[in-house]
Structure 1
Amino acid sequence: MSYPDTYYRRTLADEAVRPALAGTVECDTVIIGGGLAGLTVALQLARAGLSVVVLEAESVGFGASGRNGGFVSPGFATGSDAIARMAGPEAARKLHLLSIEGAEFVRDTIRDLNIVEAAPQPGLMSLLRYDDGGSLKTHAAKMADTYGYELEYLDRDRIRSVLKSERYFHGLRDGRAFHMHPLNYLRAVAAEIERLGGRIFENSRAVQSALGGAEKVIRTDGGQVKARRAVFTTGGYTGPLVSRLTRAFLPIATYVMVSEEAPDLIREAIMTTDAIGDSRRAGDYYRVVDGGKRLLWGGRITTRAAPPAALVRALRREMTGTYPQLAPLKTELAWSGLMSYARHLMPQIGEMQPGVWHCTAFGGHGLNTTAIGGKLVAEAILGQSDRYKLFAPFGLVWAGGPAGLAAAQLTYWKLQAQDWWRERSA
């Protein structure tokens, strides 16, 4: 099976191998990309009785959808103020409600399909590494007043009673957010699509498309799919098949590592099953996994993937800088993955041309936004809603190519410097 060696791959519950496309297949809708967005579109269409085909270049969940931190919580990669500037305050409010709905959709799917292998665990703590509790209290009040969404404020003593680190000052706990095994979730959704009559072909990279006519044709090396509609959900692994998509995103690498089994040592530092994230741009995120026996730690971004040894050193510096007592904790496994970011840091969801849809650029907050993005595209195809138009202000704008990648890296370094100075002054 063509998965990278990750903790999720090693703990995969479903080992089913799906065939590659061979010959000509016809359907109502063909979906290119077997990550969370594509599978959500397929699931919702199959539930409505439409015939669907999913083409996946590798294996279901091969990309960022199946190798991320596993956090499911509301929000987008950019902040609410930036969204309001681009789309207006009322649209920003509706978009945030969609992000809440996306997280609930994932939770409901786990419940409805009884995906016990996803192992959902409630609780997410978002922490500040500098002394500004007032801003968090203001944010919590806004969330409660505007969305009816309750966040619990955590002072320094509360945080340090469960996290034995001097780095954290204030935090908010989201009891409705949760974390899970994303690859097991995806594989279970894929199985449900097939149970409903949908077809999924792995190792079936789309290499050519004809999208201009009423019949859309997607070709692979082994065959072709003819459909009334095509949906592109390829994320950070988007190839050159559709130039408008290729030009509109930046592939950004992020990194994750998992420790050896050491429950007693881990418990000396981390005494909660909540997932943890800090306030920095591309800051640390981590959670205990395997029943508390291991620590999964992620963070950092680069515009090109670093070799495994280098990423382990970088992540370990972050971990031991936060928890010096974890210096003896050995790293067992590390991996990277590509996320797709648009220049405006928002998902790109819409109809490129009649019968051709895109649902991509979910970097930074993917497990809720990919789910709601896929649901909105399915609603539009089924004629149930036009809610996808809320994303119209965030179109397929050119991401800048190599210059865009360089600018993104420089921006990240600038934000890192700002974070360092703010923490140093705390």
Structure 2
Amino acid sequence: MTNTERRIYPGYTYSRAPIETCYWSEDVPDASLERPVLEGSHRVPVLVIGGGFTGLNAALDLARAGEEVMLIEAQFPAFGASGRNGGFCCLGSSRASDRQLRRFGPEEPASVRRAEAAAVAHVERLVKDLDLDVDRHSTGETILAHSPRAMRALRHEAEALSQAYGVTCRVLEKSDLGCEGLEGPTWHGGLHVPIGFALHPRKYAAGLLAAAERAGARIHGGTPALRVEQAATGLRVTTPAAEIHADRVLIATNGYTAESLLPWLRGRLLPAQSSVLTTRRMSQDELEAQGYWSRQMAYEERRLLHYFHLTPDGRMVFGQRGGLLSSPRVEAKIAARVRADFEAAFPAWRHVETPHHWSGMVCLTASLTPYCGPIPDMPGVFAAFGYHGNGVAMGSYLGARMAELSRGETPSEILPAAFAAPPPRFPLGRFRRAFLAAEYGMAKLFDL
């Protein structure tokens, strides 16, 4: 057995280099999230691997239920996507079409949508119950049409979305965007969906971390899980400096999962890079010069979308999908591309500095839906992953559902059949990033 982790991206991707200038770390620095390294031999009833939103929610739920739980994280809690995302607590996580979902039954599309709304409500409830200051802003989110054809599709979709989520979605014509504070030269209108809100992801993660520890969870950083195995004593998890024996293991590593952690997981996750920049604080005059002053979360109706929102203090957070390669040179090249797209979307802000740029990994599955459930043929091992870039809400929600499943309980809230079905492996094994190249190429054609 090797004591090294095997992954499909180079070591640079999983280092701290891509978050050296992450804006969120100004308010919640890495050091405030670091926890002691675990050493020696330990026996615990429940072990959670991964300290992002999924793992922290699982640990919090388990500890609140009176269970003795330990969580280990390779770097520090919220090191991965949870501490570096765009701050969207919103609908989403499934990319499967209604036709694909109906193979689980005619009501499955509706079940998935109920779960998406429940995931947003789960985070909202946690923020309120834990009294977390997460810089909350935005009432729902606005989908912006990048072409006349996309706008026609949004008009057609408005009634269906309203019925699916039980809300009133509002169509915004191009002439409405200026009045809404959503002006931009590349958009032809939009659709407002009144579910979701924006937040400071590291403040949310730090609040979850503190709550889990108060409830009794033991949390360790700098402790990567190298492998999970069945042993005579139950389950054995090996780290560089420790060996942990547990009755149950919950895996919550998502896009940062090592191929070598557990054979069943190999090839079932496809990490994809996402890149974000943040401007300096802008004045009200600068915001009005662009005609964009709304604090609404927004994203474009295209396959290779941009997503963005103004923070409460007037900084624009602007993100998009990253590249297929990873290195300092590639990171600089992608940062320049994101900056160019930012200037195209907001030409009045071409003079505005963007001192913060970072990148991270979202996680895709071949089923196009998240997974939450047991690992086949590994009694006591559970996993939740595959949020398709919408992990703030769904990662949190499925962390709590995974904790319930691990106790042998029926989930207290809806868990769609599509999410309980194990996703198949991607073809091509460690070369499966080729699928991203194909998807990005097709997206460029369809986005015209």
Aligned to 1:401: 429
Aligned to 1:424: none
Q: CA deviation at 1:77?
A: 4.2
Aligned to 2:268: 248
Instruction: Work out which of the residue numbers 117, 142, 156 in structure 2 matches 1:100.
Output: 117
Q: Any conservation in 1 of the 2:40–2:242 contact (CA below 8 Å)?
A: yes
SS at match of 1:227: strand
SS at match of 1:310: helix
Determine the C-alpha separation between the residues in 1 that align with 2:79 and 2:234: 29
Deviations 1:29-54 (A, max 9, x none): 10111111111111111111111111
Deviations 1:45-101 (A, max 9, x none): 111111111110001011111101111111224144254255333122112211111
Aligned to 1:201: 220
Deviations 1:113-135 (A, max 9, x none): 01114534433111111224443
Aligned to 1:272: 294
Deviations 1:321-371 (A, max 9, x none): 122222112221211111221122221222112111011122322112112
RMSD value, Cα: 2.2
1:272-351 alignment runs, 5 A limit: 272-289=294-311, 291-292=313-314, 294-305=315-326, 307-351=330-374
Determine the C-alpha separation between the residues in 2 that align with 1:384 and 1:141: 37
Q: CA deviation at 1:211?
A: 2.6
1:31 alignment partner AA? V
Q: Any conservation in 2 of the 1:77–1:364 contact (CA below 8 Å)?
A: no
Instruction: Work out which of the residue numbers 251, 262, 269 in structure 1 matches 2:282.
Output: 262
**TM-score calculated relative to the size of structure 1:** 0.92
Aligned to 2:392: 367
Determine the C-alpha separation between the residues in 1 that align with 2:342 and 2:33: 35
Aligned to 1:423: none
SS at match of 2:143: strand
1:296 alignment partner AA? V
Q: Any conservation in 2 of the 1:56–1:202 contact (CA below 8 Å)?
A: yes
- The number of residue pairs the alignment matches comes to 419
Aligned to 1:146: 164
Aligned to 1:230: 249
1:75-154 alignment runs, 5 A limit: 75-132=92-149, 133-154=151-172
Determine the C-alpha separation between the residues in 1 that align with 2:424 and 2:398: 15
SS at match of 2:317: strand
Q: CA deviation at 1:225?
A: 2.1
Determine the C-alpha separation between the residues in 2 that align with 1:333 and 1:145: 39
Q: Any conservation in 2 of the 1:46–1:193 contact (CA below 8 Å)?
A: yes
Cα 1:121–1:224 shift into 2, 3 Å: farther
Determine the C-alpha separation between the residues in 1 that align with 2:103 and 2:81: 27
Determine the C-alpha separation between the residues in 2 that align with 1:224 and 1:282: 43
Cα 1:218–1:267 shift into 2, 3 Å: farther
Q: Any conservation in 1 of the 2:92–2:116 contact (CA below 8 Å)?
A: yes
Q: CA deviation at 1:395?
A: 2.0
Cα 1:16–1:413 shift into 2, 3 Å: closer
Instruction: Work out which of the residue numbers 56, 61, 67 in structure 1 matches 2:73.
Output: 56
1:411 alignment partner AA? E
Q: CA deviation at 1:267?
A: 3.7
**TM-score calculated relative to the size of structure 2:** 0.87
Q: CA deviation at 1:237?
A: 1.2
Aligned to 2:7: none
Cα 1:373–1:394 shift into 2, 3 Å: same
1:243 alignment partner AA? P
2:395 alignment partner AA? T
Determine the C-alpha separation between the residues in 2 that align with 1:295 and 1:183: 17
1:377 alignment partner AA? M
Deviations 1:208-227 (A, max 9, x none): 33235562121212222221
Determine the C-alpha separation between the residues in 2 that align with 1:164 and 1:118: 24
Deviations 1:400-426 (A, max 9, x none): 324421122121121112212xxxxxx
Deviations 1:262-320 (A, max 9, x none): 3232442211011110011131111112511x211100232223633212211122112
| Structure 1: gaps spanning 5 or more residues | 421-426
Aligned to 1:191: 210
Determine the C-alpha separation between the residues in 1 that align with 2:185 and 2:171: 18
Cα 1:399–1:111 shift into 2, 3 Å: farther
Structure 1 vs Structure 2: percent identity of aligned residues?
26
SS at match of 2:355: strand
Cα 1:36–1:213 shift into 2, 3 Å: farther
Q: Any conservation in 2 of the 1:25–1:225 contact (CA below 8 Å)?
A: yes
Q: Does 1:45 align with 2:62?
A: yes
Determine the C-alpha separation between the residues in 2 that align with 1:143 and 1:214: 50
Determine the C-alpha separation between the residues in 2 that align with 1:142 and 1:395: 28
Cα 1:213–1:340 shift into 2, 3 Å: farther
